[in-house]
Structure 1
Amino acid sequence: MSSEPWGRVDETGTVYVRTADGEKAVGSWQAGSPEEALAYFERKYEGLVVEVDLLERRVRTTDLAAKDAMTAIGHLREQVAEANAVGDLAALARRLDELVALVESRREERKAARARQSEEARAAKDALVAEAEQLAVSDQWRTAGERLRALVDTWKGLPRLDRKTDDELWHRFSQARSAFSKRRKSHFAALDSQRDETKRRKEKLIAEAEALADSTDWVTTAARYRDLMQDWKAAGRAHRDVEEDLWARFRAAQDVFFQARSGAFAERDAEQRDNLARKEELAAEAEKLLPITDIKAARAALRSIGERWEAIGHVPRDARAAIEARMHAVERAVAEAEEVEWRRTNPEARARAAGLTGQLQDAVNRLREQAERARAQGNTAKAEKLEQELAGRQALLDQALKGLQEFGG
């Protein structure tokens, strides 16, 4: 008889495997030695070990579905239970039990992962719906439209939820898109109508601009063209395919007028430059009257110059202030000379100035005496007050004396 830790062969050639429940006959061996019999049945056990190893590797390293894994484990468990093999069959059974526990653990993990994924998908779809509903009231037609299309692509990439929840969210999402599309369609329909009206308004503006093109009323017509331009801008834009042509016609009518005006202004400018040269000669003639020595002769000469000045006409606008300033300077000098002469020879004004000067001199003398008396009496405060008043009156007296001197006396 021959035996090993996990089995033995008896005198009749029967092969037994040892288990926790006792020995179990697994076969009969008549063709060779007991050792060869045990080796044969041990190789059968090793085949089971290989199958358990392979199943463990599949479960641990692949995405084998739990249902398929449990089926494979059950099938292998039956093979182990019914195996005619010699070896630690209990160890193989324990390994299969552990593998069942691992599959169950994986099943729970995947279940939890699916729950998390579902929750994340629900949150993501809620966010998509909320954003779509915000975009549904947007007036940014292009940006919002592109974003809604992007949201649809994002939605398609998310996992499905349970049918009821998924259908409810999709209904809200679809409603938001439909509301935006309806508003956008209505907006562009109104915009088309508005642009048709804009075209009609601009055609009227063009007709008026073309009617004014030959006008020679430069100021009034130029002002009207400015008003037409403001009306053009306020009218908005017509359809893209006609806007450029409308603008070209409108601008062409203005160009006819403004080119004609430019030609007329060029002639006017040449005339005004000639006028400027003539007025510069008159200004130089007037400036030779300075300084004024003979007021009567200067006034007569200035009158003659002024008459010739007025007969000349306009000069260029940018030179007008400077040339007129030269003449005004001479006119002021003559007027000031006349004023000085009048004041100098006016007896009534001289008498009034002399009377005022006398009054001020009397007041100064009186205040000086009062101040000296107060200081002599030791009344310093009164003296200082009188001296302040005296200083003010003295200043007025000095000014009056200066004015009196202008009368030559």
Structure 2
Amino acid sequence: MRAIIGVLDSFGIGSLPDADRFGDTGANTFARIWEGCSNAPRGMMQIPNLMALGLGRAAHLVDPALPAFDGMTAQGLFGAAQELSKGKDTPSGHWEMMGLPVEEDWGYFPKTVPTFPAELTEAVIREGKLPGILGDCHASGTEIIEQLGEEHIKTGKPICYTSADSVYQIAAHETHFGLERLYELCHIVRKLVDPYHIGRVIARPFVGEKRGQFQRTGNRHDYATPPYRPTVLDVAKTAGREVVGIGKIPDIFAHSGVTQEIVAHGNEAVFDATIAQAKSAPDGSLVFANFVDFDMLYGHRRNLIGYAEALEAFDKRVPDLAAALKPGDLVVFTADHGCDPTWTGSDHTREHIPILAFGPGIAPGPIGIRTTFADIGQSVAHHLGLNPMPVGTSFL
């Protein structure tokens, strides 16, 4: 009996009741992709396995304007969840689904230029032994690297920027600046931003020599503030279970509660690692994987067709995972927030997340709209026979 969680990073299914606070009323990552493909020359998105698990029916629960998809007999439990946490960021979504809603607001940097407080920038330059910084604004990562990459190489000044998330991002060239130097700088900045209650510092390494050639690499690292109370991961680890974090999961939880960390860059590599764990992880294990490409490559870049094609590629791998399951296993596909590729700007969108749960012996059917992502963690704890979490209700 094991539990496998796959987070389709940013795959929301409709705006939350409080989306107006974020300017996101009407955002719907799934619906806009589904409609956009249907109206494009390429034709309807082909994700038969996810739809058979109840994805369309879960989306209809949130947005009745969508087709009911009731002609399909669901092969798993399906529903949606609302977020209690106050943000629309990666740590909030992941922590809450593992039983730890973020009860206080994160700190954010204002949409001004410069965006960072002068005393913080002075400390970053001083402690990091830097000639200065570039950027100091809200920006899309790919765009600001394109704009400032050549100046960065020439001056040695790292590119520092933020977004609507609680984040301090540092882009630097892997060889001209140095990958290990970038990581060391992020460790320094992690401590410096703690007084501002910033959720993450992110290293954004890139390569290339001139404008038009710059590309971010897979050597990204997130330096998150640690969870302030135990999550399901910690509970499982304390109980002597194997807790496998795949992709950026260990970074999101500041490596808390994880017994095995598997580095995997890109959705295909993450899926390969997840299937390998489904074949080999011992009884009682919790396997947790983040499929980052949906968010990083397509949602933030507002690439609807690319997002659809990534979903289709993911969908084709679902039968491979199902074939690797053992009696008593549980799989949950979900998300951590939205990132509607038709929305203005490049930030996340405040949305419901899907819950698609299946496995040998898991009876299919609707589970409705849950009032917190933490119902996922509570269900996992129940399935694995762990002590219950203080927040959430099992849907099993």
Q: TM-score range by the shorter chain?
A: under 0.3
Q: Which structure: greater helix fraction?
A: 1
Which protein has greater RCO, CA pairs closer than 8 Å, 6+ apart? 2
Q: How does the TM-score come out when normalised to structure 1?
A: 0.16
Q: How does the TM-score come out when normalised to structure 2?
A: 0.16
